[in-house]
Amino acid sequence: MALYALGDAVPTIDPTAFVHPDATVIGSVTIGPESTVWPAVVLRGDYGSITIGARTSVQDGTVIHATDELPTVVGDDCTVGHLAHLEGCVVEDGALVGSGSIVLHRARIGRGALVGAGAVVIGGTQVPPGARAFGVPAKVVPGNDSAMQILAAEHYVRNGRRYREQLRRID
């Protein structure tokens, strides 16, 4: 992995986390136990801090950034889908942020909520716990099957263990 300090800001990665060698982690970034960070992810904690909780999967091509005033926090047991962009927001425990979605400044994705693939959650939007957000801009609707999200998070924890043990470069 490309791991960079920026001045005094040094990433902190739990030893049980899996960060793919092709991911980039810069500055004030914390990655919790058993979390997975997949290829081409950029976690850029240059202006503010980024916190990834325990057992959370940040999937391929995702970009997570923060601002001077707004950290980005992703809780425990979350899944952040491929090619998502998170900046200056909070994603609470057990939430799923779908592939290709964008979650912007001061948005809050509640516990067990779901952001649909390709959705744009504009700044300041509050997605209540267990709700769903779909569309551009995202509209919030009630109800969600958070049991599926828990299974997805558990799957990525197992896959992270497999990668820590079995991934090897062959070129």
159 phi, psi to nearest 5 deg: -65, -35
Rounded Cα distance between 137 and 165, Å, is 41
Does the pLDDT of residue 145 top 70, yes or no? no
Does the pLDDT of residue 42 top 90, yes or no? yes
Residue 29 pairs in a beta bridge with 50
Residue 127 pairs in a beta bridge with 109
* pLDDT tens column, 96-116: 999 999 999 999 999 999 999
Does the pLDDT of residue 31 top 70, yes or no? yes
Per-residue pLDDT band at 155 (split at 50, 70, 90): confident
Lowest mean pLDDT among 43-47, 117-121, 145-149, 162-166: 145-149
Q: What is the pLDDT of residue 131?
A: 95
Provide the CA 50 distance to its chain's centre, in angstroms: 10
Q: What amino acid is encoded at 143 in this protein?
A: G
Domain 2-166 has CATH 2.60.40.1180: no
Domain positions in the chain: 2-166
* pLDDT tens column, 53-82: 999 999 999 999 999 999 999 999 999 999
Cis upstream peptide for 15 (omega within 30°): no
Does the pLDDT of residue 154 top 90, yes or no? no
Q: What is the pLDDT of residue 74?
A: 98
* pLDDT tens column, 117-133: 999 999 999 999 999 99
pTM: 0.95
Q: What average pLDDT does the chain have?
A: 95
